[in-house]
Amino acid sequence: MVRRDGPAAAAERLGDGIAPAFERPRERLALHGAAALSAAELIGVLWGTGVRGHTAVEAAADVLRRHEGLVGLARAADAELEAVPGVGPVRAAQLSAAFELGRRMITDWPQNRWTVRSPRDVGERLVPQMGYLEREELRVVLLNTRNAVLKQVTVYQGNVSSSLVRVGELYRDAVRLNASGVILVHNHPSGDPTPSPDDLALTAEALAAGRLLDIQLLDHLIVAGDGFVSLRDRGVAFDRHS
C-alpha cells in the first residue's frame, strides 16, 4: 500500500478526525506548554483521538459549547456528557476525573502556604470548589494559633439547616486536632449568597458552642457562584459575640 502525503492526504485524514501533526494539541503542548492551549485543545489532549468527521479539538469545542464553557462542563452529570455525540462513557469519565483532580489539587495545596489573614484567603480557596455544587455542603476549616490551616473537613452534605446540623459535629475534629479556631463555609446552590435565617441561627449556635469549648469561631462564609459573603465582615451574628 502506498501512503499519500500532501494537502489532499491531510484533508482526508482530517475527515477521519485526525489533524495534521502541526495542529495536534499534544504536539502544540510539547512545543509551547499547556498554558498556550485553549480549553478545547486541553480536552483534546485528554481525549487523544477524534471521532469520525471531527478532530478531538473540534469534538471538545462542541461539548464546551453545549455546556456554555468549563464551568457548565464541570457541573454536568456523567449521563449528560455521555449523551453528547462523540463523547460516550469513557470520555465522560475522563472529564469527570480531570475536574475532580483539579478540585483535589486546590484542597491539597501545601498547608504551610495557606495562612488565613482575611475571609478572602478562605473564599479564594473554596469558591472554585464549592461555588457551583448542586447541593448544599458544609465544611469546617481548622486553624492553629497562628491562623495556619490544619485541615478542612466536610461535615454535612444536603440540607444545611440549623435544625438538622449537630453543632458538636462542627467541633469534633477541632477538638481532636487541638485547633484554636474554626471557620464555617457552606454554599448556596441558588447562586445567592445572602444569609438565610437558618444561616444566622447556625452561626449563633456555633458561636455559643465554641465559647464552651474554648475554640473560637472566626467566621462563617457563604459561597455562591463566583463569590462569597463573610458574616463577620457584615457584622451578622458576630456583633454581640465577638
- For residue range 105-133, list pLDDT tens digits in order: 766 655 445 789 888 889 988 998 888 88
The average pLDDT across 16-33 equals: 66
Phi-psi region of 167 (alpha: psi -120 to 50; beta: other; left: phi over 0): alpha
157 against 2, higher pLDDT: 157
Residues 225 and 194 in one domain: yes
Tell me which of 85, 106, 127 is where a domain ends.
Answer: 106
Domain membership flag for residue 2:
no
Total domains present in the chain: 2
The per-residue pLDDT of the chain, averaged, comes to 81
Q: The whole model's pTM is what?
A: 0.60
| CB contact burial 171-197 (16+ within 10 A = b; e otherwise) | bebbeeeebbbbbbbbbbeeeebebee
Most confident option among 124-133, 152-161, 209-218: 209-218
Query: CA-CA distance, 67 to 127, in Å (whole number)?
Result: 20
Both 79 and 123 in a single domain? Answer: no
Give the structural domain span for 62: 7-106
Residues 114 and 199 in one domain: yes
pLDDT band at 1 (very low <50, low <70, confident <90, very high): very low
Statement: residue 157 has pLDDT above 50: yes
Share of the chain above pLDDT 90, in %: 30
